[in-house]
Amino acid sequence: MNKVYYTKEHEWIKLQDGKGYVGLTDFAQDQLGDIVYVELPEVGTELEVGEAFGVVESVKSASDIFAPVSGEVVAVNEELEDSPELINDDAMENWLIQMSVEDEDDLENLMDEEEYNDFIGEE
State the amino acid at position 89 in one-letter form: D
Find, among 21, 116, 101, the residue nearest to 69 by Cα: 101
Residue placing its CB nearer to another protein in the complex, 81 or 104: 81
Which part of the chain contacts another protein (CB under 8 A), choosing from 12-20, 28-36, 93-101, 104-112? 28-36
Q: How many residues does the chain have?
A: 123
Select the residue interacting with another protein from 48, 55, 61, 113 (CB under 8 A). Answer: 61
Q: Are 3 and 112 in contact (CB under 8 A)?
A: yes
Which part of the chain contacts another protein (CB under 8 A), choosing from 1-9, 58-66, 71-79, 108-116? 58-66
